[in-house]
Amino acid sequence: MEQLLKVGHIDLCLETFGAPDAPPILLIHGASAAMDFWETEFCERLAAGPRYVVRYDHRDTGRSVHYPAGQPGYTGPDLVHDPLGILDALGIEKAHVVGLSMGGGIAQRLAADHADRLRTVTLIATSPLGDDLPAPADRIRAAFAADAPPTDWSDPAAALDALVAEERLYGGTHPYDEPARRVLLQHMLDRTHDVEAAMTNHWILEDDSAPLRPQLPGITVPTLVLHGTEDPLLPPAHGEALAREIPGARLVLLESAGHELPRPVWDVAVPAILEHTRN
């Protein structure tokens, strides 16, 4: 069951799976992503570990606190502190943290600056960032450069079509189950307070944090890196760099996956995460 949790002075929406006395896993998704993107069956598979799985809506996504589009009342570092506030509110001293894309960046920052709150960290489809790493694929750069009209996020049909197109753009070569994805995406849209804010505000956040990459060699939290072999936004070299620069990190490549965690790779990803979080 979803619940609104008071985290500091804001409300964040979350859902839990499994027994509270099982080892806790906190899932952190990417920019503009509500917790729906951690699919229910994926969470249930982890919970069967057994694990106590927590997924949540970032600010401006889903049913969490929201702000006017173009006027986020928070900064990038606030999104880093929200997971710590969730752990505090749930009475969890230390958790296994799994982050994907922007969520992986948040997880890196937590591992570097708040290692005392983490049991392990799993980084999915994310990057240490740096000019030495490969640029996005041609199709991604072409999409960024295209002078296309902006999506009317107030139009439900246009919003749904735009999200489907975006998933296809960032996907690998696993078959895309469009009917199933439309159901999931529609549910996410239906439970989002302000779709335009959700799709806008994370991309304009201020963040004056120090560069993270120089801190990676000092990370002591046990680290697992999962990365798609066909990630068009962050090619596999980004995941390889994380695994190389974080001491003791383990890299698992997800065959044919793009910038995503598609259902066909769960049989690899779920056992890898459960093994990594066994203690």
Asked if 197 and 31 count as a contact pair (C-beta separation under 8 A), the reply is no
- Per residue in 3-26, pLDDT (tens digit) is 999 999 999 999 999 999 999 999
Please give the torsion angle defined by the CA atoms of residues 18, 117, 2 and 163, in that order, rounded to the nearest 10 degrees: -110
Give the residue among 64, 76, 80 at the shortest CA–CA distance from 204: 76
Whether the bond between 50 and the residue before it is cis, its omega within 30 degrees of 0, is yes
Asked if 103 and 30 count as a contact pair (C-beta separation under 8 A), the reply is yes
Cα of 85 vs its chain's centroid, Å? 17
Q: How many domains does the chain have?
A: 1
Q: How sure is the predictor about 226, in pLDDT bands with cuts at 50, 70 and 90?
A: very high
Please give the residue range of the domain that contains residue 43. 3-276
Residue 262 has pLDDT above 90, yes or no: yes
pLDDT score of 26: 99
Share of the chain above pLDDT 70, in %: 100
| This prediction's pTM | 0.98
Residue 138 has pLDDT above 90, yes or no: yes
Residue with tokens 């259902």: 263
Residue 67 has pLDDT above 90, yes or no: yes
Residue type, 223: T
Give the residue among 267, 257, 201 at the shortest CA–CA distance from 231: 257
Residue 279 has pLDDT above 90, yes or no: no
pLDDT score of 148: 86
- Per residue in 192-205, pLDDT (tens digit) is 999 999 999 999 99
pLDDT score of 260: 98
- Per residue in 173-222, pLDDT (tens digit) is 999 999 999 999 999 999 999 999 999 999 999 998 989 999 999 999 99
> 156-170 and 138-145 helices cross at what angle (nearest 10)?
150
Take residue 183 and report the two structure tokens written for it: 């159901």
Residue type, 131: D
Share of the chain above pLDDT 90, in %: 97
Answer left, alpha or beta for residue 79, where phi above 0 means left and psi between -120 and 50 means alpha: alpha
- Per residue in 235-259, pLDDT (tens digit) is 999 999 999 999 999 999 999 999 9
Residue 1 has pLDDT above 90, yes or no: no
Give the residue among 121, 153, 110, 75 at the shortest CA–CA distance from 225: 121
pLDDT score of 7: 96
The CATH number that applies at residue 178 is 3.40.50.1820
pLDDT score of 166: 97
Take residue 67 and report the two structure tokens written for it: 């702000």
